[in-house]
Homo-oligomer: A and B are copies of this chain.
Amino acid sequence: MNKMKLVINVLTVFFSLTVLAQTKIDRIKVKGNEFVNESGKVVVFRGLNTSDPDKLKTDGVWGEDYFKEISNWGATAVRFPVHPQAWRRRGKEEYLKLLDQGIAWAAKYNMYVIIDWHSIGNLKNQLYLHEMYYTTLPETYAFWKLMAERYGKNTTVAFYELFNEPTMYTHKFGTITWEEWKAINEEIITIVRANGGEGIPLVAGFNWAYDLTPVKYNPIEAEGIGYVSHPYPMKREQPWEPKWTEDWGYVKERYPVVLTEIGFCDETAPGAHVPVIGDETYGDAITDYCDEKNISYFIWVFDKKWSPQMYVDDKYTPSRQGKYFKKKMKSYKN
């Protein structure tokens, strides 16, 4: 070993120790229909979605400051949307480095992490909304096996969101039954747990992760999991509350529920699209609904360009929804 290599190695070790230094954070568990910490205290998360770590890295934004800012906005957790195409393009080894960093930065600011396999479409038929969401069932299994092996004992990584938004898109992606989807999720949960994943699997329903009605008669056969919905403003017409209860809110009576994506923007905002157009009326409705039922939620998305964006420039100046949710999140007493 020559001297230069030695210097680099010492620096590497030093860097790693610095980055990974952290207070041990409680393992979050499921108890009945709630998440609890190691003292048994109920924990409700109000968090932010980062954009894809790969995208943030390319933008030069992926760094401790980004996480510090998120923490300053009042978030107690972050969700990392790992796009399958980005995962393959950057390569497993390089992408894992990003996740290692992000998890460490989140931990430093006492925030929990959801790792989200960010695909949209019908995994059974391999039909997706866009190439960036393309994956296969074996790739999905392998991804979760690796996540469990690598982060399964890391208490910061509280959640594994198995598949972002399952949808048949009015059958443009063909068909898949709840029974088929349930079996896929149960298989992933088996794989996660057998490989040491001690975090909480989160399972979404159809209609772009909106509809959880089949859980009523045919829930996922696994303990210690949570369910996901993405109730954007336009998924239903006002008054929203009775429909939300019918579609996904009722699940909270028996299981934990996490809204891993909520958010709104003007129809004139850059990138505005169905179903995210809305305003503070929606903000009040969804946060009140969640607060009343101890439902955790995550705002989409802490990015300058992805829509609905939360900030509008390199100084993290809040967008309209950014202002709303920053104030809201900071109002909670954690």
Contact = CB atoms under 8 A, between A and B. Distances in A.
A187 interface: yes
Contact of A190 (B145, B174, B194): B174
A57 interface: no
Contacts of A306: none
A200 to B, nearest CB: 18
Interface in A181-200: 187, 190-191, 193-195
Instruction: Name the interface size band of chain A.
Output: 20 to 34
A173 B187 CA distance: 9
A171 interface: yes
Contact of A172 (B126, B169, B174, B195): B195
Given A125-B141, A126-B141, A187 B175 contact: yes
Contacts of A126: 138, 141-142
Interface in A283-298: none
Contact of A138 (B127, B138, B187): B127
A96 to B, nearest CB: 16
Contacts of A141: 125-127, 174
Contacts of A23: none
A170 interface: yes
A324 to B, nearest CB: 36
A170 to B, nearest CB: 6
Nearest to A140: B125
A171 to B, nearest CB: 4
Contact of A191 (B138, B145, B171, B190): B171
A138 to B, nearest CB: 4
Given A126-B138, A145-B127, A172 B187 contact: no
Interface in A137-172: 137-138, 141-142, 145, 169-172
A126 B137 CA distance: 9
Nearest to A168: B194
Contacts of A136: 138
Nearest to A125: B141
A125 B192 CA distance: 13
Contacts of A174: 141, 187, 190-191, 194
A172 B197 CA distance: 11
Nearest to A172: B194
A311 to B, nearest CB: 34
The 5 closest A-B pairs by CB, nearest first: A126-B138, A171-B194, A172-B194, A174-B191, A174-B187
Given A127-B142, A145-B173, A174-B194, 15 more contacts: A125-B137, A125-B138, A125-B141, A125-B187, A126-B142, A127-B191, A145-B172, A169-B194, A170-B194, A171-B193, A171-B194, A172-B191, A173-B191, A174-B187, A174-B190
24 contacts: A125-B137, A125-B138, A125-B141, A125-B187, A125-B191, A126-B141, A126-B142, A127-B138, A127-B142, A127-B145, A136-B138, A141-B174, A145-B173, A169-B194, A170-B194, A171-B190, A171-B193, A171-B194, A172-B191, A172-B194, A174-B187, A174-B191, A174-B194, A175-B187
